[in-house]
Amino acid sequence: MADAVATAVAAELFEKIRTKSAVVGVVGLGYVGLPLIDAFTSAGLRCVGFDVDWAKVQSLKEGVSYIRHMQSATIQGWLDRDLFEPTADMSRLSEADAIVICVPTPLNASRDPDLTYIEQTADAIARALRPGQLVILESTTYPTTTRDVLVPILQGNPAGLRCGADFFVAYSPEREDPGNQNFTAASIPKVVGGMDSASLELACDLYRHAIVQVVPVSSAEVAEACKILENTYRCVNIALVNELKVLFDRMGIDIWEVVAAAATKPFGFQAFYPGPGLGGHCIPIDPFYLSWLARRNGMSARFIELAGEVNTRMPQYVVDRLGEFLNERRLPIRGSRIAILGMAYKKDVDDFRESPALELAALLWKRGAILTYSDPHVANIGRAGHHELPAMTSQPLTPEYLRDQDCVLIATDHSAFDYELIVRHCSLVVDTRNATKSVQEGQDRIRRA
């Protein structure tokens, strides 16, 4: 009888998904959640968005976006078609047939995974859980999180509902690339792993409505490990070019020219570029998940840990080089007016989580620089994460502002920056992104770090 009930519960949910009558709940209305809602609503599925931040909820109710690459007109379109409702009321999670978790997974002070947001979300879902719901975790995390953390919390629900019988659970890693106009959430293949065959089929059927390609894998652990591999691959290769940059700087060799030359090889090479460090929510963090997981399993992930160390050292390297360049002009960092261009972690986005620019700012502040910044996408900063910084507001990039600086440090190569203007009016430009490579005049004022 239990198997028959489980089959009936799954069949009812399959039918809701097939007919697009299923309501999708998305928990976490940020850089992952909102693009996912766009994909689902574009496919005609109704979404309820959940977030504990009342300001975000209110903004979305008014059709106003707080994320640069998600247009307000898009959100207003969801509202106009009655396909979206934002709320901070977690008791309404029972209204959703499928719940997708898109909450942050940061590191704690000791650089170990902090699953607090996943655990809190799972607690809220467990309290509202009813038969016939599908729960999908998308937050980046280490393998076994779905099985060992999420499912036990959900199975602690007051009604005694069981995974695979009364409700269903899957993992599908988010693959957002903010600022990349070539991809949307709907156009990026979706890897899906389920806790059981029914969970896998249900999750795949749901995503097939909205995503160009669904890639089922044998388990939730494989899907979790897939995401870690993708980001660690980037971390390791960026560490390689960052280390080569330090070496080639000493030898007077331009690392960007070297990478460009190597990229002409049509096989066996993919170009990665150096920078002032890693930023964003995934790439600086995921390798630490792996090294932590290795320690739990009695191993040492030395290769991955080394890559993390190399990338973590880059902001200090940049500041040391900047100090050398100022010293050439008989100026110390202390008391010098230094402007950082770009606080976002990558080009043309407004996200400054884990941005290397914050670490650069903190290091320069500690060394006594008179610090300001300009970023067309980040209006103001204050205390950000573990960084102790004064509250600062983005400054207009005018000739007068540039001329008033002893040094301008390009930390993020936003397209909106006029690099000809920058070089023309600055006495010293330290470029960590090779953003000034095409500037015709004033190359003698540019130093790359």
Task: Answer whether 229's CB lies under 8 Å from 287's CB.
Answer: no
Helices and strands (H, E) in the chain, number of each type? 15, 15
Q: Is-catalytic flag, 282?
A: yes
3-state SS class at 157: coil
Task: Answer whether 351's CB lies under 8 Å from 178's CB.
Answer: yes
Q: Are strands 214-217 and 190-194 parallel, antiparallel or unpaired?
A: parallel
Distance CA 22, CA 214 (A): 19
Cα angle 261-266-268, degrees, rounded to a multiple of 5? 90
- Torsion angle, alpha carbons of 290, 295, 298, 300, to 10: 70
User: E strand or H helix at 423, and its extent?
Assistant: helix 419-425
Task: Answer whether 137's CB lies under 8 Å from 168's CB.
Answer: no
Instruction: Specify the length of the chain in residues.
Output: 449
Identify the DSSP state of 372. E
Distance CA 117, CA 279 (A): 20
Q: Which two tokens stand for residue 122?
A: 């799972």
Task: Write out the E strands in 110-243.
Answer: 133-137, 167-171, 190-194, 214-217
How far is residue 42 CA from its own chain's centroid? 23
Distance CA 449, CA 322 (A): 8
3-state SS class at 215: strand
Distance CA 300, CA 320 (A): 31
Cα angle 308-283-146, degrees, rounded to a multiple of 5? 110
Give 148's contacts (C-beta < 8 A, 6+ positions apart): none
Sheet holding 407-410, edge to edge: 370-374, 337-341, 407-410, 429-431, 446-448
Catalytic residue among 47, 163, 235, 282: 282
Please provide residue 381's backbone torsions phi and psi, each rounded to the nearest 5 degrees: -140, 160
Q: Is 333 left (phi over 0), alpha (psi -120 to 50) or beta?
A: alpha
Count of beta carbons in the 10 Å neighbourhood of residue 347: 18
List the catalytic residues: 282
